[in-house]
Amino acid sequence: MKRREFLYTMGAAATAGSLAAPSASAQNSTMKYAHQNGTSPFPLALNTSTIRPSSLVDKIDAAGAAGYDCMELWMDDLEKHVADGGKMEDIRKRIEDQGMYVIDVIGLWGCMPSDEAEFQKMMSTNKKRMEIAERVGSKHIAVLPLPQRENFDVKQATERYRHILDVGLNEIGIHPAMEYVSVFKDFNLMGQCMQVVLDCDHPQACMVSDTFHLQNGGSGFNGLKFLQGDVHAVFHWNDVAERRGPKEMSDGDRIFPGDGVLPLEKVIRDLHGNGYTGPLSLELFNKEHYTMDPKVVAQQGIDKMRAQIKRALA
Q: What is the pLDDT of residues 149-179, one digit of tens each?
A: 999 999 999 999 999 999 999 999 999 999 9
Rounded Cα gap, residues 197 and 206, in angstroms: 6
The mean pLDDT of 15-41, rounded to a whole number, is 61
Average pLDDT, the chain: 92
Residue 8 lies in a domain: no
The tally of CA atoms less than 13 A away on the side-chain side of residue 220 is: 4
The mean pLDDT of 110-136, rounded to a whole number, is 97
Residue 293 lies in a domain: yes
Angle of the 294-312 helix axis to the 56-66 helix axis, nearest 10: 40
Residue 9 lies in a domain: no
Residue 93 lies in a domain: yes
pTM over 0.85: yes
> Do residues 48 and 71 lie in contact, with contact meaning Cβ atoms separated by under 8 Å?
yes
> Do residues 212 and 254 lie in contact, with contact meaning Cβ atoms separated by under 8 Å?
yes
Residue 175 lies in a domain: yes
The pLDDT of residue 245 is 86
The residue range of the domain holding 168 is 43-312
> Do residues 257 and 308 lie in contact, with contact meaning Cβ atoms separated by under 8 Å?
yes
Residue 294 lies in a domain: yes
The mean pLDDT of 181-202, rounded to a whole number, is 96
Angle at 102 between CA 181 and CA 76, to 5 degrees: 55
Q: In the predicted model, is pLDDT for residue 14 greater than 80?
A: no
Residue 36 lies in a domain: no
Q: In the predicted model, is pLDDT for residue 278 greater than 70?
A: yes
Residue 35 lies in a domain: no
The mean pLDDT of 246-266, rounded to a whole number, is 97
Q: How far is CA 105 from the centre of its chain?
A: 8
Domain count, the chain: 1
The mean pLDDT of 38-67, rounded to a whole number, is 98
> Do residues 123 and 167 lie in contact, with contact meaning Cβ atoms separated by under 8 Å?
yes
- Residues above pLDDT 70, as percent of the chain: 90
- The CATH number that applies at residue 173 is 3.20.20.150
Rounded Cα gap, residues 193 and 199, in angstroms: 10
